Amino acid sequence: MDASGEKGKTWRSDVKDAARKVYCGLPTTSPVIISMEFVMERPKCHFGSGKNSSVLKSSSPTCHIYKPDVLKLSRAVEDALTGIIWKDDSQIWSETLVKRYGPCAGVEVLIDIED
Cα 72 versus chain centre, distance? 10
Look up residue 22 and give its amino acid.
V
Query: Mean pLDDT for each 10-residue chunk of the chain (115 residues)?
Result: 68 94 95 98 94 93 93 95 97 97 94 92
pLDDT in the model for residue 9: 81
Helix 5-22 and helix 70-81: axis angle, to 10°?
50
In this prediction the pTM is 0.88
pLDDT in the model for residue 23: 94
Cα 115 versus chain centre, distance? 25
pLDDT in the model for residue 89: 95
Largest CA distance in the chain: 55
Q: How many domains does the chain have?
A: 1
pLDDT in the model for residue 115: 82
pLDDT in the model for residue 84: 97
Q: Residue 65's domain spans which residues? A: 5-113
Whichever domain contains 22, its CATH number is 3.30.1330.70
Residue 44's contacts (CB-CB under 8 Å, 6 or more residues apart) are: none
